Amino acid sequence: MDKTTKRDLAIILGAILLAVASLSLMGRLHIDSSTDVFIPKKEQVVAINDKIEEEFGSIDAMMVGVSNPNGTILTKDNLAILTNLSDQFSKIDGVKSVVSITNTDHMQPCSDGFEAIPLYDKDEEGAIECLSKRLDDWSEVYEGSLISKDRTMVAFIIHPQTGLGQDGQDAILNSLKSVVDLSPHDSLEFSYVGLPVVKKQINESLMSDMAILAPIVGLLIILVLLFSFRRLAGVVLPIIGLAISASVTLGIMALFKITFTMATMLVPVLLLIVGSAYVIHVMSHFYGEVALANRALSRDETRIVIHAVIKRNRMPIVMAGATTAAGFIAQFTSPLGPFRTFGLLSAIGVVLSQLSSLYLLPALLRVTYRHGINPDRFKYSKKGTKESKSNIFFKAFSRIALKGKWPLIIVSVVLLVLTVALLPNIKVGTNMLDFFTPKSTMVQDTNHFNDKLSGSGILTVMIEADERGAVLSPTFLTTIEQFSTEFEAMDGVGKVQTITPYVKRMNYIMNHENEPYKQAVQDDISFDFFGDSFGFDDSFGFEEEVVEETLTATWDPNTYKEIPTDPAKYGFETEEELQNMISQYLILFSGNLDNFINDALEPDATLLTIQLKKSNTQLLRQVTAKINSYWGENIPSGWTYSVGGGEAIALTLSDLVTKSQIYSLVGALLIVWLLVSLIFRSPMAGLLGTIPVFFALMGIFIFMSVLQINLDIITSLLAALAIGIGVDYAIHFMAALQRHNNLDKIEESLEQVMNTTGKAIVINAVSVIVGFAGLIFSRFMPIRQMGILFCVSMLFAGISSLTVLPMATTILKPKFIYGIKKKENTRKNNLNHKRRIAP
């Protein structure tokens, strides 16, 4: 065994061991699928949510919907099941509270004023009838929150303890499902909804999705390689290198405890696709060079060919890899941490793929063909045969570039105008429920829950006063009630939960037997011993009786179902006295109002919870804008308000995604232009290199608008990725033109480039397109959409690099390509003494 073979085996064995060691670390990967991990800690919404949780408890409520498809759920057997579930749910570790119709309190009159009694008491006579009556009696609180209007569905609202994290919440959800599974529930149907439920489902699907996608993408790339090279070695050798590169990247993630997010999960799959470009160029040139030989090549001659191919392709691969990595590195400008991590890991993966194609692949080729190679086995490309169909195909590209100047210019302008016109139609937003298909159980359960009840989307408004007890001011409580009325009238808003229904209920119970303004009327009676009519005012007597009869006749007890704002109506003189009366109500009330006020006696903060039936970005913006407008005008001086909740995180993320897209797009374009300019030592080269890039971007934005695909945390990665990969085609093409820079024979030079590098570009583009097409098998809609868009972008980039780019170089004749005219005789003489290598 010679020294070269020993070195090759050492490289191969080392790479395999490194891959195995990396895969052994997979168990250390930490997964976090939530959108929270994307939000920078410095964002205001993070501090707001932390403060809301500190004052009012967890904002990530889990909801379990229980419905009876056969009719009312208010039957003895069903209520027994619900009671048992409520008790079992409350015992789960990490659960702070459970609210349902079987364990919540109902407010009713008593000898001391009012009291909190169970809404449902199975032991009282006529329990179901009493429950129905109480539900009707206070429907504004119960309907939509705990029970549907048609009485066929109820909800359990489970509040976890604060600070549990994703793992703690997942454990609670697992326990909830276990309790339901172990409990007899006849024909009842259960649905689990809420942001923690969606996060858990994504977490569970994340690794399995990658485990499915990686083999599918690998299989598709194998098919492309098999079709392109028609040899087992042409398939196996590139795949070994790609798999090792992806494995080592995963090992780096595990070793440095990098969180596996919705963004970083794409890295291994992308490396299989992106890395295929480098091995395809090496393999294509290798087999093309071997096919030029007239006889079988010995081991040493084969090694010479491999060395020459690697030497010729080293710079183009390094240059292409550098620009691809630059596209990824542009993510460093993103305000989103997972995007920056994605960029870093992808850039590292690209470097590993380059090293694999320049060192591991040649070693594999030398070991595989250690006994030499016979070119007769490459019949499809053997020299001297009749002009193949593929050569005719690539010759057509060169003719289009040379003679189709105006059609190409017109098509380019039309695409540009179309892009500019459609760009404003692209919607921005990350709704985690939209990650799943409309037919998925998760989406159907959530839609059913939202149709029956008030909605699972949550926005919260925390209002803080400048002094204790001030939030109980009648004027302010009236402002809250008006807020609720206006927002509940909005399409997409289900309900607004506030303290005001409780205050109104307390006020009614305490005053419904008292005549309004009675004390005020008595105080107005005049009593004068020295006047006429034996000292009584003339109005006393008959007219006084008329006043009392009038009040009695017009008095309706329901007049007290209000926020008390008129002091005279309650026998007071000032609003401060009314506020004190409301404070007394809270002292008498024994129920729990922690979800609405931060102190049972003198609260200085209150929470308004807006339930949303829809969670799209457009509605969130409308609701948030209305919140800001309303409280900007109506909040008392010196008070503050803050908007939080899970949907506030989603809205903030949408804004950050837009900002990230702009930063990374501009950053990638500038970095790529600078690198290409430095590589070819010409600013003009940098501009020409962006031609396929701009066509790729136009394809992305046009199809995003036409297919109504949102710009979200997944699809926003596309632009910089397309820039990095799209420019590869330009670099390979311009580098090939430099090798054939014959101004006297431009058409011949172009045909030579088309038949070699052009073919490699087509195979590469097809490989990338087919690889990204594998993403349509993902469980997540944004990843499917990303696959479709990337296929489109690579199609646009590949075609433009073989048509528009050569057209531009032919017209402009840039010096960095045609500046030095090669001497044909010298080239011919050199070819007589050197082994011919495909250009």
Decide the pairing of beta strands 493-497 and 605-612.
antiparallel
What Å distances lie between residue 741 and 168, 501, 682, 821, 839, CA to CA? Answer: 65, 82, 16, 6, 12
- CB-based contacts of 372, cutoff 8 Å, min separation 6: 296, 297, 298, 299, 301, 302
Residue whose structure tokens are 């691809």: 324
- Domains 3-30+201-379+388-425+651-833 and 61-193 equal at CATH topology level: no
3-class DSSP assignment, residue 374: coil
What pLDDT is attached to residue 605? 95
Q: Helices 267-290 and 195-229: crossing angle, nearest 10°?
A: 0
The per-residue pLDDT for range 187-240, each reduced to its tens digit, is: 899 999 998 898 888 888 887 888 888 889 889 889 888 887 888 898 999 999
State the Cα–Cα distance between residues 173 and 183, nearest whole angstrom: 15
Residue 513: burial class (beta carbons within 10 Å; 0-12, 13-18, 19+): exposed
**What is the DSSP code string of 771-783?**
HHHGGGGSSSHHH
- Of 138, 148, 200, nearest to 169 by C-alpha is 200
Token digits for 602? Answer: 């003198």
Amino acid identity of residue 330, one-letter, is A
State the Cα–Cα distance between residues 817 and 565, nearest whole angstrom: 84
Q: Considering the entire predicted model, what is its pTM?
A: 0.81
Residue whose structure tokens are 């048992």: 84
State the Cα–Cα distance between residues 63 and 276, nearest whole angstrom: 46
Domain ranges (residues) in the chain: 3-30+201-379+388-425+651-833, 61-193, 442-516+555-644
CB 117 within 8 Å of CB 106 = yes
The three state secondary structure string of 605-659 is EEEEEEEECCCCHHHHHHHHHHHHHHHHHHCCCCCEEEEECHHHHHHHHHHHHHH
Assigned fold of 61-193: Alpha-Beta Plaits (3.30.70)
CB 87 within 8 Å of CB 71 = no
CATH number of 3-30+201-379+388-425+651-833: 1.20.1640.10
Query: Residue ranges of the chain with pLDDT lower than 70?
Result: 377-391, 519-555, 590, 742-745, 820-839
The per-residue pLDDT for range 367-401, each reduced to its tens digit, is: 999 988 888 766 544 444 445 555 677 777 778 88
CB 66 within 8 Å of CB 77 = no
CB 46 within 8 Å of CB 150 = no
Q: How many CB atoms lie within 10 A of CB 681?
A: 9
- CB-based contacts of 248, cutoff 8 Å, min separation 6: 18, 19, 22, 352
Token digits for 138? Answer: 């206070």
